[in-house]
Chain A
Amino acid sequence: MEEISIEVPVEPPKEYEWYFIPVPKKFVEEAYRKDEFVVFVGPQHPGSGHMRIILRLKGDFITDVIPDPGYVHRSMEKLAEYKTYIQNIPLVERPSIMDFGNYNLGYVRAIEEALEIEVPERAKYIRTILAELSRIGTHLYDAGILAVFLGHTTGFMYPFAVREFIVEMITRITGTRITGSFIVPGGVRRDVDNDTLQKIKRMTYALENRLKKFEKIFITNPTTIARLKDVGVLSKEEAIKLGVVGPFLRACGVEYDVRKVEPYEAYDEIDWEMVVGEDGDGYTRFLVRVNEVSQSINMLRQLVDNIPEGDVISEDIVAFDRKDIRGSFFEAYGDLVLPKGEYTSITEASRGSLLFTIVSDGESTTPYRLRIVTPSWLYLKGFMESLKGERLADLQAIYGSWGYFPPEADR
């Protein structure tokens, strides 16, 4: 359609001078002259956490977008410098509490790399089970948030109900619903009994059963397909250029998964497949995660079946009971000092590659510097890029399809 414009000099109203606007005044004035809307979405967003997106709309179409993250910044990296290595474990899993398994694992792996600790096989399996449980939990959580954004209330309730199964299993393993702080350097805090393991396997069948209903009512619901298909498309080249990570990168057709590329823990001992999409649109991004859930279910069954017997705490750790850290936690970790140097671990968290870097001065019991690069932060740029040219009504659909989690990005 041809655009008709009248060349009349339009001056922005005087009020603009005293409005508090967190973007350059020029941006607003230019939008005014071009007859565009500037819409602030957030920061008190009804979806997940807090983030402001500043949009420039031409009619209903987004022409420009400025993200305004940082509303839930907690200076986690600085806080970590004032806590001992072991005290940081509850801290570092806070960015994304549903995904605690992967966050905890990433941090502990960085410590283990520094201390060159060999982790017992059984502990590795338990860690992988925890990581996969929290991956399913996070994907379900994101699916629920996506459904809320699309106005589908049942699509919100079903994943959150099913997540309760995951949380139940996590409670049985760690003793708490989320924020397990269960993985410690050299193993896990407690052994998991056989009963619980079998229950996890039974849970996966119940999960599958319920997810089938979820699929019928939400995943293949024509309104969902209509809202997400061909919306917020990011091409393969763009995705690589903008540094998108995790399932969102795979949705664009890039075959990259840290669990396959650099297998850690028990990922190379079990049989599973990488999920790769093609179109890079919102629906593929969602479906990739849906399929990852079924892969995780498959993994959980194998892990439960193949778990070896043995200790769960490494020989290198001062622990008096190798099945349960209780009673020797302080002796083992109270005065942990890492040798001097820089240690990095890369983990495939639910939303993408998660990087922990610990810089140690070799003397103190606290890290000299802890760097956390979270997946949400990495794909924020790609998220913003995929918004351009879409409709305002699609903002929430795209937001949901990215599973963007402000507390995780802000750290």
Chain B
Amino acid sequence: MVRIKVEKPKVHKSVALHIKAITTAFKEAISPGTITIHYPRERRKLPDNFRGLLQLDKEKCINCFRCAHICPANAIQMYQRENKYYPGIDYTKCILCHFCVDSCPTAALKPSKIHDVAFASLSTMVLPPEELAGEPEMWREDTVTVEYDFDGDLKMIKRKEVENLIVEVEKPKRPEFVAGAAFPENCIACRICVNSCPQNAITFKLQDLQTMVLEIDFEKCTGCMVCIRNCPTQTLLPFRREEVLKGGESDEQG
């Protein structure tokens, strides 16, 4: 245990402390340990996992709504585009927690290193999905990238390079899922799954007036699980894609 007990310093000690403080100041005045980065002209090197503004790759987006559901600040709204839904971000609300990025199963939402953006007005801070792709219109004055390193003291490594603010993100490691009818007997033929599927992977056709056939195309299914969440009677459940395919093969063999 560390015990702290301080006596009031005596006069000679006090003078010594005065001199210590003054000499420290003089030393610093002569050789300062300045840590300033001249920001618009120099830029701090940021780690790759930096939580900056979000980027959306519309090609990869499977319209699963996960980002909108998890957002703690309600900043993500889904916009309808060509019969599908894509996330758009309201930066007046966004707190850059990147729960959405961590939720995205296909790395369609990506982080970037952009953290310094000015908006003209509040209404322009609401970005629809189209404006989420690529670097925003930027004036970059920086020519030097500064990296902090430590070597007994702070070491500022200055490099004459312009950092790329867009980060390449790999697809997260996760098995692929498909929706399958686990309990077909529960189906009440409401066709909500058909209407909600963003990939149009579930189709239905009337065999005759009374009988309806629903069909899932596993090739098209991206495993977004929208149908599973929407199904009122738990008819559908997610299956691992490899299991499904293996099962199909074994069936053929059998």
Using CB atoms and an 8 Å cutoff, list the residues of chain A in contact with chain B: 83, 86-91, 154, 161, 164-165, 168, 171-172, 174-176, 179, 181, 189-190, 199, 202-203, 205-206, 209-210, 213, 216-217, 220-222, 225, 229-230, 251, 255, 273-279, 283-284, 287-288, 291, 295, 320-321, 324-330, 333-334
Q: Determine whether the beta carbon of A225 is less than 8 Å from that of B8.
A: yes
Q: Which of B120-128, B169-177, B181-189, B195-203 contacts A (4 or more CB under 8 A)?
A: B169-177
B49 interfacial contact with A, CB 8 Å:
yes
Q: How far is the CB of B45 from chain A (nearest CB, A)?
A: 10
**Contact between A190 and B49, CB atoms less than 8 A apart:** yes
Contact among A154, A175, A334 for B98, CB-based, below 8 A: A175
Which B-chain residue is minimally distant from A329 (CB atoms)?
B102
Q: How far is the CB of B8 from chain A (nearest CB, A)?
A: 6
Given A90-B73, A90-B97, A202-B151, 19 additional A-B pairs, CB 8 A: A90-B72, A161-B35, A172-B47, A176-B50, A189-B102, A202-B149, A209-B153, A222-B14, A222-B17, A225-B6, A229-B8, A273-B2, A283-B6, A325-B102, A326-B172, A327-B102, A327-B172, A330-B103, A330-B105
Which residues of B sit under 8 angstroms from A165, Cβ to Cβ? 148, 150, 154
Interface-forming stretch among B18-26, B80-88, B132-140? B18-26
Contact B150 A202 (CB under 8 A): yes
B101: which A residues are within 8 A, CB to CB?
Answer: 326
Name the contact of A284 in the complex, choosing from B4, B73, B103 (C-beta under 8 A). Answer: B4
Nearest chain A CB to B27's CB is how many angstroms away?
A: 8
A189 to B152 CA separation, bound complex (whole angstroms): 30
B107 adjacent to chain A (CB < 8 Å): yes
A-B contact pairs, 15 of them (CB 8 A): A86-B70, A90-B73, A174-B51, A179-B95, A209-B153, A213-B24, A213-B28, A277-B4, A320-B173, A321-B174, A325-B102, A327-B105, A327-B107, A327-B171, A327-B173
Given the known inter-chain contacts A176-B51, A221-B17, please indicate yes or no for A329 contacting B99, CB distance below 8 A: yes
CB distance from A399 to the nearest CB of B (A): 20
Task: Determine the distance from Cα of A7 to Cα of B5 in the docked complex, in whole angstroms.
Answer: 47
B108 to chain A, nearest CB (A): 11
With A and B bound together, what is the CA distance between A284 and B8 in angstroms? Answer: 12
A171 engages B97 (CB within 8 Å): no
Is B2 a contact partner of A171 (Cβ separation < 8 A)? Answer: no
A119 to B183, CA, bound (A): 36
Among all A-B residue pairs, the 7 with the closest Cβ atoms: A327-B172, A87-B72, A329-B102, A320-B174, A330-B103, A202-B150, A175-B49
Contact in complex: A330, B66 (CB < 8 Å): yes
Taking the complex as formed, is B33 at the interface, i.e. its CB lies under 8 A from any CB of chain A?
yes
**Set of chain A residues within 8 Å of B1, measured between Cβ atoms:** 255, 273-276
Whole-angstrom distance between the Cβ of B149 and the nearest chain A Cβ: 7
Nearest-Cβ distance from residue B183 to partner chain A, whole angstroms: 20
Contact B96 A176 (CB under 8 A): yes
Residues on B with beta carbons closer than 8 Å to the beta carbon of A324: 172-173
Specify the chain A residue showing the minimal Cβ separation from B37: A164
Q: Which residues of B contact A328 (CB under 8 A)?
A: 105, 172, 174
In the complex, the chain B residue whose C-beta lies closest to that of A205 is B152
Q: Do A329 and B70 have beta carbons less than 8 Å apart?
A: yes
Asked whether any CB of chain A lies closer than 8 Å to the CB of B104, the reply is yes
Chain B's nearest CB lies how many Å from the CB of A310?
Answer: 17
Complex Cα distance, B4 from A251, in Å, reads 8
Residues from chain A with a CB closer than 8 A to the CB of B96 are 176
> Does the CB pair B69–A320 fall under 8 Å?
no
B72 and A88 contacting across the interface, CB-CB below 8 Å: yes
Q: Is B3 an interface residue (CB 8 A)?
A: yes
Q: Shortest CB–CB separation between residue B166 and chain A, in angstroms?
A: 15
Q: Does B111 reach chain A (CB closer than 8 Å)? A: yes
Max chain A CB contacts within 10 Å: which of B9, B33, B70, B99? B99
Please tell me if B214 contacts chain A, counting CB pairs below 8 Å.
no
B102 to chain A, nearest CB (A): 4
Answer yes or no: B216 CB below 8 A from chain A CBs: no
Interface code B33-70, partner A: CB below 8 Å = 1, 0 otherwise?
A: 10100000000001101110000000000000010011
Which residue of B is nearest A196, CB measured? Answer: B47
Q: What distance in Å separates the Cβ of B189 from its nearest Cβ neighbour in chain A? A: 27
- Within 8 Å by CB of A181, from B21, B25, B99, lies B99
Given contacts A171-B47, A276-B4, whether A321 and B172 have CB atoms under 8 Å apart is yes
Task: Check if B172 sits within 8 Å of A90, measured CB to CB.
Answer: no
CA gap between A154 and B26 in the complex, in Å: 13
Residue from the list A199, A221, A251, A333 in contact with B21, Cβ < 8 A: A221
CB-nearest residue of chain B relative to A230?
B8
Q: Which residues of A contact B150 (CB under 8 A)?
A: 165, 199, 202-203, 205-206
- CB within 8 Å of A: which of B141-170? 148-154
- A274 in complex: contacting residue of B2, B97, B104, CB < 8 Å: B2
Q: Which A residue's beta carbon lies closest to that of B67? A: A330
Q: Closest Cβ of chain A: how far from B89's Cβ, in Å?
A: 15
- Assembly CA distance A333 to B71 (angstroms): 12
Q: Which of B28, B50, B107, B175 is A171 in contact with, Cβ under 8 Å? A: B50
Return the chain B residue nearest A295 by Cβ: B2
Q: Are A175 and B72 in contact (CB under 8 A)?
A: no
The answer to whether A199 touches B20 (Cβ under 8 A) is no
Whether B104 lies near A175 (C-beta < 8 A) is no
